[in-house]
Structure 1
Amino acid sequence: MTRGAGLLAALVLLLLGTAAEATTVRVHYDVGYGNRITIRGSKTPLSWTTGTNATWTTGNIWTLTWANTVGDVELKPLVNDVTWSTGANYLIKAGATVDLYPFFGAASGRLQYVYNISSPQLGNTRHLAIYLPPSYSENPLKRYPVLYAHDGQNLFDPSTAFGGVEWRMDETTNALIGNGSMDEVIIVGIYNGGSNRIYEYTPCCDPQYGGGGADKYERFILDTVKPYIDQNYRTLTTKTNTALIGSSLGGLVSFYIGRRNPAVFGKLAAMSSSFWWNNQALTQQVEATTTKVAVNIYIDAGTNGDGLTETTRMRDALVADGYVQGKDLYSYVAQGAGHNEASWAARLNIPLTYLFPWQSTVY
C-alpha cells in the first residue's frame, strides 16, 4: 500500500469512527410551513434556556447530532422554541441514534367504537371500544403499541360497566401519558360475550362451572381482532409492542393466551386472576415445567377475598421457572383490595406503567 493510500484509509477510518461516536436524535413531526423544531437539554451543546435548531430532512424528520463524549443527555423538543412537547424529558444514551415522536397538545385520548364485529370462531358478534392516544391525530407520522383488554364494556363507560363502575382506563392512561410515566398506546377493549363469558375466558374444564372456550377466544383475537386493528389503525405489530390485560377470568385468559403465544404478545397483565379455575390446573402446568416463556408478566391480587393464596402460588411457580421480580415479573399485593371494578381501577396505573413505561416503545 502506498503512503497516500494508507493516509486515505486512515482518514476513512477516522471519519467512520467519528460517525459511530455521534449521538443523534431524529424528531418525527410535521410542524407546518415556516415553523421549526428546536431541542433543549441538560448538557452542552444543549441548554434548558435556549433551544438548538434541528435540521429538517425529507419525511418531516428533524435531526440533531452531537459528540458522544457529552455523555447521556436529557432533552425535550419544542416547536419554534416556545411550545414544549408533552410528557417527560427524553433520556438519550451517549452514542445512540434515537427516533422521537412527540406531541405538543393536551394529553387527552379519544374513543372510537366498532360495533358487532363478527367472530366466526365463537359464532357470535361483539363490540370493540378503542382508545386512540393523544397524539393520534396530531402526529400522523407515529405508530403505536397495542394493549388488548378483556371485558371491554367495563373499561371506559359507567353506563355499560358492571355495576355502573368503570375502570377509568382512558382517564388513567391520559394522566400517565401527560406526566411522563407511560408511553402512548392504542387500547382495544374487547367486549365480553355476556352469558358466554365463563365459556370464552376459560380453558377446559372446571368441575363446577364447565367452560373450555378459551382456545376459540384466542383464535378470535389472533385471527379476527388483531388483523382488523393492524389494518385499520397505525400500530406497531411486533411482540415487544403488543400486550394483554384482564381481571378475574379476564386475568386468567390473559395469562393463558399470552403464554401460549409468546411470538405475538411480549407482555401481559393478569389482575386478580381466577387461578383457582379447575383446581389450579394452569398453575400446575407452570409448576410442571422448568421452561421460562419469553413474556413479561404482571400479576396481582388484593388481600380482601381476592385469591391471594392462589396468585402467590402462581408467582412462586414463575420464580421457580426463572422469572425475576422487577424485570420480567411484577407481582403486587394490593392491601385491602377486593375482587371488584373499583379495586382494579384504583391500581390500574401499576400494570399500565409496567407494560408500557415511558420511552420503552421499540419503533
Structure 2
Amino acid sequence: MQFESEFIGLKGNLYSKYLGRKVTFRLVAPPHYKDSETPFPVLLMNDGQDFVNLELEKTLPSAFSSKTGKPFVYVGIEANNNRIQEYGTASSPDFKGRGARAKNYSKFLIEEFIPFLRAEFKVSKDAQDWVYCGMSLGGLSAFDIVYNNAQYFGKVGVFSGSFWWRNKAYAVNDVEDRSRIVLDIVKKGSYNPHLKFWFQCGTEDETADRNNNGIIDSIDDTTDVIKELQEKGYSFPGDITYVELDGGKHNLKTWAKVFPKFTNWAFGTN
C-alpha cells in the first residue's frame, strides 16, 4: 500500500519567562522535511489558534507542492485570553492601556522563540527567509515586531491590520491624525531596504468612517501606513503590495480566501 503525506505537523509549547506562561504553537512542514538537507524558509503567524478556520490544512499543502514557490515551514503561535495585552505596539500601550505586555511579547518572540526554532528545527538562519504575518490586532503586532527588528525578517503580511491603534482618542477635524501610534513608529524607525510589506483590506472590513471622507477606516488607516512607508523610502508598488478585496470582511473566511495569494507573494519564485 502506497502512502503519501500532505504535510508533517506537530503541536507543542514553550515556556516564556517574558510572558510568564507556556506558549502553544503549531508547526507544519512539507512532506520531505525529514529528508531535506537544506533548511527551510519560515512563515510565522500570530493567532495560530485560527489554523483550522483559516483553512490552512488545505492552503499549506497546496503551497508546499506549488511549482512556482519555495517550500517553507509554517509556525502558528497561539494567543490566549491575554491577547489584547500581548498584541499591540512594543513602544507603548494604546490610550486605553491595551497592549501593556506587547513589549514582553516582542522580547519573547525575538529572544526566546526564534532562537528556539533555529536550534530545534531545520529552518533558515537567513533573515531574508523569515516572514511574519497576522490578522487584525495580530497584524499590527507582526508589523510592529518586524519593523523594529528587521535584522530577523525579510517580509511581513498584515490582514485587516488594527492600524487605528492610537495614543489618544480621535479628535474630530484632526486632519493629520498623528495619534495613530504606527505612523510615528514608521517615521522614527530605521529604513531597511531588504524589507517587503504585504497589506490586505476588505471593502466591507467595517462601516466606520471617522473623518467622513467616504472611505472606511480600515482602508484609510492602511493606506496612510503605506504613505508613511513611502516617505521612509519604500516603493509602492515594489517593496509594498496592497490587496483590496471587494466585499471582503473582517473575518476568518475572508482572510482564508486571500491567504493563498499571500503565500505566493511570500514564497513564490515568479
Query: C-alpha root-mean-square deviation of aligned residues, in Å?
Result: 2.0
Structure 1 counterpart of 2:205: 305
> Does 1:190 find its partner at 2:77?
yes
1:181 aligns with 2:92: no
User: Who is 2:191 aligned against?
Assistant: 292
> Is 2:183 the counterpart of 1:283?
yes
Separation in 1 of the partners of 2:46 and 2:246? Answer: 24
2:248 to 317, 327, 337: 337
Report which of the two structures shows the higher radius of gyration computed on alpha carbons. Answer: 1
Match of 1:133 in 2: 30
Higher relative contact order (CA 8 A, sep 6+): 2
Offset at residue 209 of structure 1 (A): 5.2
> What is the deviation of 1:317?
1.3
How many matched pairs?
242
Aligned twin of 2:45: 149
Q: TM-score, normalised by structure 2?
A: 0.83
The amino acid of 1:121's aligned partner reads Y
Distance 1:260 1:124 in 2: 24
TM-score (norm 1): 0.63
Q: What CA distance in whole angstroms lies between the structure 1 residues aligned with 2:122 and 2:223?
A: 38
2:122 alignment counterpart: 234
Give runs of aligned pairs for residues 43-54 of structure 1, distance below 5 A.
none
Structure 1 unpaired stretches of 5+: 1-104, 158-165
Deviations along 1:100-136, one digit per CA (max 9) or x if unpaired, are xxxxx96721210113x21100111121100111221
2:86 aligns with one of 164, 184, 200: 200
Cα distance in 2 for residues equivalent to 1:330 and 1:120: 36
By how many angstroms is 1:320 displaced?
Answer: 2.2
Question: Contact between 1:202 and 1:249, CA under 8 Å: does it hold in 2?
Answer: yes
**Equivalent pairs: percent with the same residue?**
24
| Cα distance change of structure 1 residues 290 and 123 upon mapping to structure 2, 3 Å threshold | closer
Q: Secondary structure at the match of 2:58?
A: helix
Aligned residue number for residue 175 of structure 2: none
Q: Residue by residue, what CA displacement relative to the aligned partner does 1:20-72 show, whole Å, maximum 9, x if unpaired?
A: xxxxxxxxxxxxxxxxxxxxxxxxxxxxxxxxxxxxxxxxxxxxxxxxxxxxx
CA distance in 2, matches of 1:251, 1:322: 22
Is the contact between residue 271 and residue 299 of structure 1 (CA under 8 Å) also seen in structure 2?
yes
Report the Cα offset of residue 298 of structure 1: 0.8
Moved over 6 A (4+): none
